[in-house]
Amino acid sequence: MSSSSGDLKWWQLSLIGIGCTIGTGYFLGSSIGISITGASIVFSFILGAIGTYLVYNALAKMTAKDPQQGSFSYYAGVAFGRWAEFSCGWNYWCSNILIMGSQLIALSILSRFWFPAIPLWIFAAGYAVLSILVVLTGTKGFDKLENLFAVIKFAAILMFIILAIAALMGWIGGDNDQTNLPTTRTELFPGGLKGFWASLIYAFYAYGGIEVIGIMSLQLQKKEDAPKAGKVMLIALAIVYVLSIGLSVTMVSVDAFHEEESPFVTALADYNLDFFPHVFNGAIIIAGFSTMTAALFGVTNLLAAIAEDGNAPSLFAKKSKKLKDLPIPSLALATAGLLASIITALLLPGKIYEYITTAAGILLLYNWFFIILSSFKIIKDNLLHKVFSFVGLALILAAISGTMFEKSIRPGFFVSLLFVLIIGLVCLRMKKVWKKSNNDIRYY
């Protein structure tokens, strides 16, 4: 990540972005969105794509102007001061740890599809160890595995789209040959405006990971290609998401979807395709595992970068020479965080873990909000950028505020506020330390 002139072409960046983004947020999270707002989830996904693109665009423009390894937290620091750099870095770290924890649990739930007798924690521990091993093999091995995983994920979605079209055309026999193409307003928005509003967070959640691409755009051959790479990537993602989710809500009624099963498995359940749940379950596990490992890798390097900038104890910046410059203390802390989130999930009564997962998504959106705010200060004199940025801010605010309207996810909003409060308190405490060390006046 350190080289300022890389060898990536823009389309390679787009592909990596697609591979990194498609994860459990899309495969599993979308079913919660569908159960809240029904078929109109498709519009949520389109709005989510627009909002995500605006965030990416702001980040890419700042990166092109002043390429920095610290990425969004560095820019937040330039725009608003050290507290912003500190909070953005740690906010991102926290949200990633929580997201990883939730992915781990999702993977374990899915694995029990085949082995219902084995307790959840054995799967969770197994995937965690496997993920740490992949990270320990270093960047080279990681890249190769990720490319393979990306292909498998994409193939799975493609398979669903083809099968779904075949089913709708009546080429595959099934018990259910009735389509549910929504035609009236109440069919399209069964949850009303509030339901639609609340579903936005799940659409955004499926696009999470865009910051990674912002950081990776440092490796582009031509930095000015960064906005193009993002545009292509998000258009491709939006088409795939809208098409696949649009098809699944057309095939079965909205009531059939629930959060422990992928909407795509639900949609094809009535078509006597015995192999499909197995293959698709495997693909989701691979997808979840690869995004989780990417997140673990990213979080490990992120904390090292935070420590290098003096916003975390310097211990976490230490890199092991034996293990390909991997910051081992940072990996250890991420592992501890991961363990804590698994234990929370297993010990606390069901719902609380869901709240934390929602909170993680909201924390991510706080970060996006800051990316756009920073770009206001850094990219000046561009009216068009300002207009776009306001639209982006409005969409993010809508997604965050939407969580307050749905009873089942509202506590997640309060949990996210709790995390912000903790980071804020630490920030206040750190301010005194910064004042001491930031003094430029010399007495000797």
Partner 1 sequence: MTRKIYNKYNESGEFMSNKKQDQVTTDDALLDMLLSLVEEDGVELAVTLTVNGAVISGYLIGASDYYEGITESALALQDNTLSKIIAKKFNDMKNAYVKQKQNDEENNEKTPTFIHMKNATYFKLDKQDTSGNTTWWRGRISSVDAVSFDYFT
Which residues contact partner 1 by CB under 8 A? 2, 66, 77-79, 81-83, 308-310, 314, 317, 431, 434-440, 442-444
93 CB-contact burial (10 Å; exposed 0-12 / middle 13-18 / buried 19+): buried
Closest CA to 23 of 270, 237, 326: 237
Rounded CA separation 317/302 (Å): 10
When the beta carbons of 200 and 371 are compared against partner 1, the nearer one is 371
Shortest distance in whole angstroms from residue 309 CB to partner 1: 6
Task: Compute the radius of gyration of the chain from its Cα atoms.
Answer: 22
- Cβ(13)–Cβ(220) below 8 Å: yes
Q: What is the C-alpha separation between 251 and 270, in angstroms, rounded?
A: 10
The DSSP call for residue 316 is G
Contacts of 399 (CB under 8 A, 6+ apart): 48, 51, 200, 201, 203, 204, 365
Least distance between partner 1 and beta carbon 379 (Å): 15
Min separation Cβ 40 and partner 1, Å = 43
Closer residue to partner 1, CB minimum distance, 231 or 431: 431
CB 323, min distance to partner 1, A: 17
Nearer to partner 1, 2 or 183 (CB): 2
Q: Which is nearer to partner 1, 12 or 139 (CB)?
A: 139
Nearer to partner 1, 83 or 113 (CB): 83
Tracing tokens 């999930």 back to the chain, one arrives at 345
Name the minimum Å distance from CB 41 to partner 1: 41
Q: Which is nearer to partner 1, 85 or 259 (CB)?
A: 85
Q: Which is nearer to partner 1, 73 or 290 (CB)?
A: 73
Q: What distance in Å separates the CA atoms of residue 70 and residue 89, rounded to the nearest whole number?
A: 9
At 7, the amino acid letter reads D
For residues 385 and 374, what is the distance between their CA atoms, to the nearest angstrom? 12
Nearest-approach distance from CB 4 to partner 1, in angstroms: 14
Q: What is the closest distance, in whole angstroms, from the C-beta atom of residue 57 to partner 1 in the complex?
A: 22
Closer by beta carbon to partner 1, 407 or else 429? 429
Distance between CA atoms of 226 and 56, rounded to whole angstroms? Answer: 9
The residues pairing with 326 across neighbouring beta strands, listed in sequence order, are 320
CB of 3 to partner 1, least distance (A): 13
* Minimum gap (Å) between residue 82 Cβ and partner 1: 5
Residue 364, burial from CB neighbour count under 10 angstroms (0-12, 13-18, 19+): buried
Compute the distance between CA of residue 194 and CA of residue 198 in angstroms, rounded to an integer.
6
**Spatial distance between the Cα atoms of 412 and 158, rounded to a whole number of angstroms:** 33
| Contact criterion met (CB below 8 Å) for 329 and 189 | no
* Closest among 259, 223, 246 to 168, alpha carbons compared: 246
Q: Which is nearer to partner 1, 380 or 435 (CB)?
A: 435
Least distance between partner 1 and beta carbon 37 (Å): 42
Nearer to partner 1, 146 or 309 (CB): 309
Q: Where are the alpha helices (DSSP H) in 225-270?
A: 226-251, 263-267
